[in-house]
């Protein structure tokens, strides 16, 4: 059976392991590291972390090894109470 990666899967690819951070038809990005972002003279950044990503093209997905995922009820997004519904 051919594995098709999904966002929030933890995978191993060659000498690297990490979370699938982004997926499109042509590639995925694997998050292999995270570090705190340093504030510069322009004030605090909206983004708090630097994400180190590795791109894996679709024609190489057969080399991916699925390890686990972090999709469960506790990790799924829950909108704020009383928030309007997103357009479909």
Name the more confident of 69 and 49: 69
Confidence of residue 84 (pLDDT cuts 50, 70, 90): low
Name the more confident of 30 and 77: 30
Distances (CA, A) of 70 to 19, 48, 56: 9, 21, 20
Q: DSSP character for 10?
A: E
Tokens of 46: 């909206």
Tens digits of per-residue pLDDT, 8-54?
A: 999 999 999 999 999 999 999 999 999 988 776 666 667 788 899 99
Check pLDDT > 70 for residue 83.
Answer: no
Helix and strand numbers (H, E) in the chain are 0, 5
Tokens of 88: 């479909």
The pTM assigned to this predicted structure is 0.72
Name the more confident of 38 and 7: 7
């Amino acid at each position: 059976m051919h594995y098709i990666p999904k966002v929030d899967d933890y995978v191993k690819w060659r000498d690297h392991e990490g979370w699938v951070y982004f997926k499109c038809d042509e590639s995925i990005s694997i998050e292999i590291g995270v570090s705190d972002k340093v504030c510069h003279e322009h004030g605090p950044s909206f983004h708090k972390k630097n994400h180190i990503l590795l791109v894996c093209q679709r024609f190489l997905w057969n080399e991916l090894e699925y390890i686990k995922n972090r999709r469960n009820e506790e990790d799924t997004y829950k909108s704020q109470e009383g928030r309007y519904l997103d357009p479909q």
